[in-house]
Structure 1
Amino acid sequence: ELSEVYGDDRANGAELRAIGTGRTRRFDADIVAAGDGFAPQLELARLLGVPIITDPALGHIRPERTIDGRTPIVGVWIAGDAGGLGGAEIALCQGELSAAGALDYIGRTDPGDLSKPRQNLERANRFQSALWDLYRAPERMTPTGATILCRCEYVSATTACQAIAEGAHDPAVLKRLTRIGMGRCQGRYCLPQALRLLDEAGYATSPEALFAPQIPARPVSIGALSAEKPEWGGHSESAPAMRPGRQLDRPLALKSADLVVIGAGVTGISAALFAARAGASVICLDRGQVNGEASGGNAGSLHLQLLSWDFGNKAVGDGSLQLRTLPLQQESIALWQGLEKELGANFEMAITGGLMVAENSKQISFLEAKVAAEARVGIQTQVIGADDIRKIIPAISDAIIAAAWCPGEGKINPLAATPPLAQAARAAGAVIEEFAPVSGIVREGQDYIVDTPRGQVSAQRIMIAAGGWSFQIAQMLGASLPIRGAPLQMIVTAPAPPLVPCLLAHADRHLTMKQNASGSLIIGGAWPAATGTSGQSEILPESLEGNLWVAAHTVPQVASLQVIRSWAAMNIDIDGAPLIGPLPGFDGITVAATANGYTLGPLMGREAAAAALSGRLRQDLEAFSMTRFT
């Protein structure tokens, strides 16, 4: 077996070790090619909803199926190595039996006598079992030190182990903190070793808690996937469900606090930080992990000008609240900048400016009206022509003739920005309890008793900052909040040459696009996703196709790029504007929910914390309180 690849900044050779004797031998080499074993391809089966299990004999994860290929999903069969490694004879027999099952399912024809393929399959399975017993390879060494665990993103074992030690106790969090599994292979090669490191650290992972399957299952060119779809208004609401996750038995660290914050996204974490700095005892509860839902799953745009669907006919209501939100977004972007400097962190934040492009006179008129409205609330934007646009984005489509330019827009990496806020909150004295879902809230005298499976905590003040799940938390009090979940999709391309140096949007299409430090384009624009039966948000093929069409229509070179991954996250749907302030009829209950959530996150958290502790909401925020609904 391969025991070491040696060299300095490149491979100079390899050391092989005899499995039986342990004797080693070195070979000088410029290139070392090593087989890493085989495992079933899971993505297509998981996209179809087939449950997955751990193979008891071989240890790898595989789809659940019977010996003849039938899965628990009606109408789905898996034949051959895609359902578990067995070789050609097993694949041949399973193919015949699966075909017979499929024909029977659609009522076509009698498959005839299947006793022979069944006998052959049983014999081949016995042979394979004996073969694996006789020639079972020794257990692989655990990756250590500088060993590269994820080749796509160049993540070492040391980096992964450090993240696990700092709280990445499941694959999804490990992925967010280290980028393991975010490259072209989507975790097919690095996931087994990542699971092994988690297991050895005491955090065994059930198959249901793996990365959510998303489309495409393999890198595909945008030109092959894109298709124009009709535009729409509003959001597609979805009832958020509980996704698979870990359960902890450890009791809560506090039994009482001055403030209980429910939700550990960017708003809740920011609230915990500023409340703790104000001297309050704070406990922040989340059913999952810090940054685990919308805050960690958004595209990282820092919006300052209005999005096209928040102005004019597409806007919810008359659009006035969305317009009044812009100065808050400007204030929050400045707060993000201040926090990055204060904490000595790297949020991967950049103020690049933003373009909203137009293709015809009607869209130009729309932009001119929008720019005039933004000027009335102090936001600097201007309409520029085609020549100026091409100085910023030379690759822009020839169809683009004008744009609204906002120099204050930019981008931030949510995976890099929220964790330092959580660290600062803990340093200020806040207690953050992950895997502590709130199961009930009752009033006892002056206090509220918050129930979780890990115990109770009492407080006179509660902040509901649970994003799309805030409605469910309010129901525990017998209250109703006008907050719903709206799952949205994001798409990432393979690294490309510089194409989009600023935030890019369209005046009449759902689109946001930016380019990250690695060269990948992040494509979004509020295209709807869905909530699957597992509780995880899922990409809709029609949204993927439509979003990609708009991107390639706006920047034609995008069509030649490959999509390497997509994901969906639960966004917040209110009325296009944030909701902050007291919950009427419930003393001590404060609500904090955002629109354009990541941009506004730290400001909403700070001001909600101040309102919760003082009982007073900042005057200019009164328009965003519950009074607008009552």
Structure 2
Amino acid sequence: MPRIETPGIRASGHDISFTFEGETISALEGETLAAALTAAGKLDLRHDHKGGARGIYCGMGCCYECVVTVDGRASMRACMTKARNGMRVERQSYLTLPVTQDTPPLASRPEGEAPMRECDVAVVGAGPAGLAAAKAAAMAGARVVLIDERSTPGGQYFKQIASSHAVGDISALDTQFRRGLDLIEDVRKAGIEILDEATVWSASATDGLGVFQDGKTFVFSAPQIILAIGAYERPLPVPGGTLPGFMTTGAVQTFLRSYRVAPGRRILLAGNGPLNLQVAAELLRGGAEVAAVVEAGSFPGPSKAWATARAFFAAPDLMATGGGYLLGLLGRRVPLLYGRVLTRVEGDGRVERAFTARLGADGRIIPDTETAFDVDVVSAGYGFLSATELARQMGCRHDYVETGLGNLVTVRDDNGETLVPGVFVAGDGGAIQGSRVAGAQGTLAGLQAARNLGKTVTADLEDEGRAARRTLKRSLDFQDALWTVFKTPPVRMDQISDDALVCRCESVSAGEIRKRIAKGFETLGEIKKLTRCGMGRCQGRNCQHLLVKLVAEATGKTPDEFDFFHPRPPVKPIPAAALAREKPEWHGFKEFAEKGPEALSAVRPTTRWQKPIETDVLVVGAGIIGICTAYYLSREGINVSLVDRGEPNCQASGVNAGSLHVQVISYDIADPEVIRTSPTASMLPLGPEAMELWRTLSGDMGNGVDIKVSGGVIVAETEAQLDYLRRKTEIERSLGVESHIVGASELRDMVPVVAEGMAGGAYCPQEGKLNPLTATSTILHAAEKAGTRMFSGTLVQGLEKTRNGFTVTTDRGQIYAARVVNAAGAWVPNLAAMLGVRVPLTTAPIQMIVTEPCPPLTDKLVAHAGRHLTLKQVGDGHFVIGGAWTAHFDETTGSSLTSRSSIEGNLWVAQRLIPAISSLHVLRSWAGIMATLDGAPLLSPVPGVPGFFCVVSNNGYTLGPLLGQLTAELITNGTAHRDVSPFSIERFAEKPGGSK
């Protein structure tokens, strides 16, 4: 594609070259791989897991469509990686990452704790809001650090010319360039420390800001944090919308303004708003041909005259600039097509044709109005979505607004100050309101942060603050008028084709999602678990708004912030090697409670029932145990109702790794002889039987319960650990568990990627794995098919024993049940206490980590003999890493939040055992609540409360179906097929003298 020559701007970077798939590519020092490859006409950068070609899409590091392998290092974003002389760049496919046991780590392994840095005000994001905020706070005397992911400040609006080019004549730059340049210079003169190419990967009030820069991680602590992250472009799913050459308008503009590259020769711009007009004009100036500008809004005729006049009054300079774009396009006879939308894109391996059609006032596509364009690039710009992930991670409240696709808006005042003390959200990251609002709000945020610190805001700065407030008001008026001029028909998800991809990362189509909704899956969590929508590298940025609106239209429910994926660290993929840090080992749980958290505020409001529910058996808790209990009861023709305070499978059953353990995980037991005399001895024989039952369920239910029994091994680093495992396996074999010792050589044969120097391990061939996200949902739907009635979002508030059974009070109404099964997991003690029953269960928040996918390296469950670690590689290639590393309880919501320290420690142990993990990126983490007793399950009718049963286990997922089956047998037959007396609640009763 052509490089642009602009008078006054020249190429200044040295000529360099690199290879792409063996072909030499010329480049300029200072430009990105994406810019150089695009200039060379190479748009096909990777292949998805179905073999489809992918290329540059967002151009700003958010979508991860352009990941390539660079010098053997996988998943490098071409749009964010600078070209270097001699680089070897290769296309990347979904499961062919060049990761083996010999692959070097993606970063140097750190030592010790993450360095802690401090400042008065930490500003995240160096666009209009962030630059203005940093400048204002610094001028008021605050010590400010500005953190930005890009190599040059300016953000997407003030994006500057890359170091590959130099400006010889400042008049060659437009006003937008110059305003940004002046503001950046002011920030530098103010002595503000700028951390460029730095990613904030985690943010919390307790852990601070986790930052990744130059292959290393550190932590920032600041009493005042200003999040000015900005926005990214709203996706438009159309058939062919993932072909190389289909990109956002922002990506096209980045190529033009920063790197002086036109991404194509004949380009169609489609979308909504003035940015498309600006980029079309810039393309023409650069020598590209603009096939048309297709605007979804209607023609700005007489009906919009008043709004146009209001916009002129509020911002005459901006309107004059926009008018200049229009006149320039008309002068070059570029078609301006109003009231039309992009419908599909075609091409053989890249964009070749694009189709548009007319939009009706109701948002429906008008039949037989399609027009085709022969083009090599489609630029799609349908507006913006706020980047709220860090604000939501820090607990800032958000409202849902229906505008366009729908967006989350941060609850904040004009200063950008949120309801979380010391946290500000300035600019488009809180609501889409344009660059001038962002700059004004940034100034106000910086000044208020300084006041919060006790800094003196001078009279001159107060004047600047008052001027910023006037600008804020005027600019908000302008935005209101502007978007009245560009108003579009409502966005309708029923106009999106079934074969259009909603989730670009995991190639999930709109049709696949609709099928799940039609089967009764109506929450993002359920659909995510069943389809993998939102589980890719972009962390759901490009699909969650689409998914929320799809579900809302299908169900008629109004979304809110809880409908969106909860952002967990890392908010963007980070090399595992950079995060891994050794932590001290421990026994037991670091953070726990003696009963489940109340978490009343986390329960979503739901509609009340018109009349009480009557049922034979009420099962409380829709985790794996409760669902299996309901399933086996319903198969016997019993009338079963199943309630859960949230969604099914959303606590421990949905957040575990899906590892089916049979042998004892050893890191929490100092002496294996304890097993012989502890309640664990009564639990161990359940494991092999539970695995057989899982096999039966898999045979009955097919792919949804796709169990893989490939064995598990606990690895010993030392001879002392191996001796420990030898004694442990002897006890296990005596209790019916098939486990034995393997030496170093046999261990290496089983797990070829295990670290050198391991002494051996304990192998149990009975262990296996499955996907708990699909397995639990599959069993639930089998239970519903058998007659179970499922009530989500139903909080049990009271439980009373009556002559005929139980009266259960919920926030939705009353339930009359003959019998009640308490399978509420971590909340079992809460429910039991309503009847005066004590269950000595403790709960602990724990977390899991998942890496990006790679080729199969091991099929075994892997654990460490002396350290907290369990891991496995699942069928789609991801490593799932756990080991009871502690998370945090959020006291305000009752949910579990991941811990930065635990992520670091867990990854250190994982890489110590499987070094190849250091060659992968961490995609995400999540947290849940683990319930634990005395080493054995609780499965018991409650003496003195006939008809009331309690069932819970700390090995609940492995044992879930068996415990559910046994509970159902106790209810239907009064007895079970095996002795369950060791699991009775009576073992916790106080003995004479106060002992238990």
Map 1:170-209 onto structure 2 (within 5 A): 170-201=523-554, 202-209=556-563
Contact 2:659 2:770 in 1 (8 A): yes
Map 1:107-506 onto structure 2 (within 5 A): 107-112=454-459, 113=462, 114-142=465-493, 143-201=496-554, 202-235=556-589, 236-238=591-593, 239-240=596-597, 241-242=599-600, 243-251=602-610, 254-257=613-616, 259-313=617-671, 320-506=678-864
- 1:93/1:436 CA distance change after superposition, 3 Å: closer
Deviates more, 1:232-241 or 1:67-76: 232-241
Instruction: Say how many residue pairs are matched.
Output: 629
2:372 matched to which residue of 1? 26
- 1:547 is aligned to 2:898: no
1:527 Cα offset (Å): 1.0
- 1:456/1:406 CA distance change after superposition, 3 Å: same
Deviates more, 1:101-110 or 1:246-255: 246-255
Deviates more, 1:233-242 or 1:243-252: 243-252
Q: Give ranges in structure 2 of 5+ residues lacking alignment.
A: 1-340, 990-996
Contact 1:253 1:431 in 2 (8 A): no
- 1:175/1:245 CA distance change after superposition, 3 Å: farther
1:82 Cα offset (Å): 1.5
Please tell me whether Structure 1 or Structure 2 has the larger radius of gyration of its CA atoms.
2
TM-score by length of 1: 0.94
Q: Give, as a single letter, the amino acid of the residue that structure 1 aligns with 2:419.
A: P
Q: Give, as a single letter, the amino acid of the residue that structure 1 aligns with 2:585.
A: E
Rounded to whole Å, the distance in 2 between the matches of 1:57 and 1:228 is 47
Contact 2:941 2:947 in 1 (8 A): yes
1:111 Cα offset (Å): 4.4
- 1:318/1:309 CA distance change after superposition, 3 Å: farther
- 1:580 is aligned to 2:970: no
Deviates more, 1:246-255 or 1:37-46: 246-255
Deviates more, 1:55-64 or 1:111-120: 55-64
Summarize deviations over 1:59-97 as a string: whole Å, max 9, x none: 421222112211111111122222222333222222221
Give 3-state SS (helix, strand or coil) of 1:473's partner: helix
Contact 1:252 1:454 in 2 (8 A): no
Which of 394, 398, 412 matches 1:48? 394
- 1:316/1:144 CA distance change after superposition, 3 Å: farther
2:420 matched to which residue of 1? 73
1:147 Cα offset (Å): 1.2
Give 3-state SS (helix, strand or coil) of 1:384's partner: strand
Deviates more, 1:474-483 or 1:612-621: 612-621
Rounded to whole Å, the distance in 2 between the matches of 1:237 and 1:319 is 25
- 1:614 is aligned to 2:973: yes
- 1:342/1:18 CA distance change after superposition, 3 Å: closer
Rounded to whole Å, the distance in 1 between the matches of 2:709 and 2:551 is 37
2:356 matched to which residue of 1? 16
1:144 Cα offset (Å): 3.1
Contact 2:440 2:471 in 1 (8 A): yes
Rounded to whole Å, the distance in 1 between the matches of 2:852 and 2:973 is 49
1:246 Cα offset (Å): 5.0
TM-score by length of 2: 0.60
- 1:621/1:12 CA distance change after superposition, 3 Å: farther
> Whose strand fraction is larger, Structure 1's or Structure 2's?
2
Contact 2:400 2:559 in 1 (8 A): no
1:110 Cα offset (Å): 2.1
Give 3-state SS (helix, strand or coil) of 1:312's partner: coil
Give 3-state SS (helix, strand or coil) of 1:495's partner: coil
- 1:5 is aligned to 2:345: yes
1:155 Cα offset (Å): 1.2
Contact 2:544 2:565 in 1 (8 A): no
Give 3-state SS (helix, strand or coil) of 1:404's partner: strand
Give 3-state SS (helix, strand or coil) of 1:149's partner: strand
Rounded to whole Å, the distance in 1 between the matches of 2:851 and 2:841 is 32
1:551 Cα offset (Å): 0.8
Summarize deviations over 1:5-39 as a string: whole Å, max 9, x none: 24699865321346799864323467655345321
Q: Give, as a single letter, the amino acid of the residue that structure 2 aligns with 1:153.
A: E
Deviates more, 1:52-61 or 1:122-131: 52-61
1:618 Cα offset (Å): 5.4
Summarize deviations over 1:274-321 as a string: whole Å, max 9, x none: 122234322222222322222122110010111113533599997632
Rounded to whole Å, the distance in 2 between the matches of 1:528 and 1:356 is 21
Give 3-state SS (helix, strand or coil) of 2:625's partner: helix
- 1:342/1:69 CA distance change after superposition, 3 Å: same
Contact 2:612 2:815 in 1 (8 A): no
Q: Give, as a single letter, the amino acid of the residue that structure 1 aligns with 2:455.
A: R
2:917 matched to which residue of 1? 558
Give 3-state SS (helix, strand or coil) of 1:249's partner: coil
- 1:9/1:278 CA distance change after superposition, 3 Å: farther
Give 3-state SS (helix, strand or coil) of 2:552's partner: helix
Deviates more, 1:96-105 or 1:321-330: 321-330
Summarize deviations over 1:140-199 as a string: whole Å, max 9, x none: 442231111111111111121222222222222222232221111111111111111122
Rounded to whole Å, the distance in 1 between the matches of 2:675 and 2:715 is 24
Give 3-state SS (helix, strand or coil) of 2:777's partner: helix
Contact 1:169 1:203 in 2 (8 A): no
Contact 1:310 1:319 in 2 (8 A): no
1:572 Cα offset (Å): 1.4
Rounded to whole Å, the distance in 2 between the matches of 1:282 and 1:87 is 54
Summarize deviations over 1:205-262 as a string: whole Å, max 9, x none: 21134222211111111111111111111123244324243513345784131x2211
1:610 Cα offset (Å): 1.2
Contact 1:52 1:207 in 2 (8 A): yes
Q: Give ranges in structure 1 of 5+ residues lacking alignment.
A: none
Contact 1:227 1:546 in 2 (8 A): yes
Rounded to whole Å, the distance in 2 between the matches of 1:187 and 1:496 is 20
Q: Identity rate of aligned residues, in percent?
A: 39
- 1:256/1:364 CA distance change after superposition, 3 Å: closer
Q: Give, as a single letter, the amino acid of the residue that structure 1 aligns with 2:964.
A: G
2:954 matched to which residue of 1? 595
Contact 1:226 1:546 in 2 (8 A): yes
Q: Give, as a single letter, the amino acid of the residue that structure 2 aligns with 1:295.
A: S
Rounded to whole Å, the distance in 1 between the matches of 2:382 and 2:748 is 47
- 1:121/1:227 CA distance change after superposition, 3 Å: same
Rounded to whole Å, the distance in 1 between the matches of 2:528 and 2:895 is 16
